[in-house]
A and B are shown apart, each in its own frame.
Chain A
Amino acid sequence: DIQMTQSPSTLSASLGDRVTITCRASQSISSWLAWYQQKPGTAPKLLIYQASKLESGVPSRFSGGESGTEFTLTISSLQPDDVASYYCQQYAESYTFGQGTKVDLK
């Protein structure tokens, strides 16, 4: 089974900060990696798919990157609406989510 290791588990940042979340796959998943945002009490929302493709309607301050089996989600300038939990997910072989990263304001 493919394991996804996501870090950090929590992240405190100030408005306008650049924020980066990392996800590492236990084996090659090509670019079959998605990122989701989840706000408390609501369903997850797809932000990025195929490692770096922005889902329609998602603000351009969100971006995805990859290097081998390491993937990143970057928020270029943190906004109040970005306070949420973020999950990576591999869909190369079955489906596995990372443990999640909770982003809040410092």
Chain B
Amino acid sequence: EVRLEESGGGLVKPGGSLRLSCAASGFTFEKYSMVWVRQAPGQGLEWVSYISSSDTFIYYADSVKGRFTVSRDNAQKSLYLQMTSLRPDDTAVYYCARGGFGELEPFDFWGQGTVVSVS
């Protein structure tokens, strides 16, 4: 069974930092690209970051570029999101999700999310 479990969320002051983690199990982690998606309270979904299976390709939404850094540890089957210079509009539920083998793939499995509050 594919499982993704996020952790690391919490309350942080504006300008602060936070590191999110996503532990993966039930699939060959190193073969899949991974993404972070966020959802502000009462709002829709916003893609945040993408990292390819061997971290050769990394992309960010304009809203977080220069402030967030995505990384992965294939040996530990884990995905990370280092968030710095946090702003109130970064407040959201952050989901990690599985991409595919290539770039043109939807997100077929999602974690339950971790809440980040910036205030």
- By a beta-carbon cutoff of 8 Å, the part of chain A in contact with chain B is 32, 34, 36, 38, 42-46, 49, 55, 87, 89, 91-92, 94-100
Contact = CB atoms under 8 A, between A and B. Distances in A.
Contact of B108 (A46, A87, A100): A46
Interface in B42-81: 44-47, 50, 59, 61
Interface of B: 35, 37, 44-47, 50, 59, 61, 95, 104-113
Given A34-B107, A100-B44, 4 more contacts: A92-B104, A95-B35, A95-B47, A100-B45
Contacts of A99: 44
B6 to A, nearest CB: 10
A46 B99 CA distance: 11
A90 to B, nearest CB: 10
Contacts of B37: 44
B44 A89 contact: no
Contacts of A89: 45, 106-107
Nearest 4 CB-CB pairings of A with B? A34-B106, A43-B110, A95-B47, A97-B45
Contacts of A46: 106-109
A104 to B, nearest CB: 15
A87 B112 CA distance: 17
A94 B47 contact: yes
A96 B47 contact: yes
Contacts of A44: 37, 45, 95, 107, 110
A87 B104 contact: no
Contacts of A100: 44-45
Contact of A43 (B35, B95, B104): B95
Contacts of B35: 95
A102 to B, nearest CB: 10
Contact of B110 (A45, A87, A97): A45
A43 B44 contact: no
B105 A91 contact: yes
A32 B103 CA distance: 11
A57 to B, nearest CB: 11
A19 B56 CA distance: 42
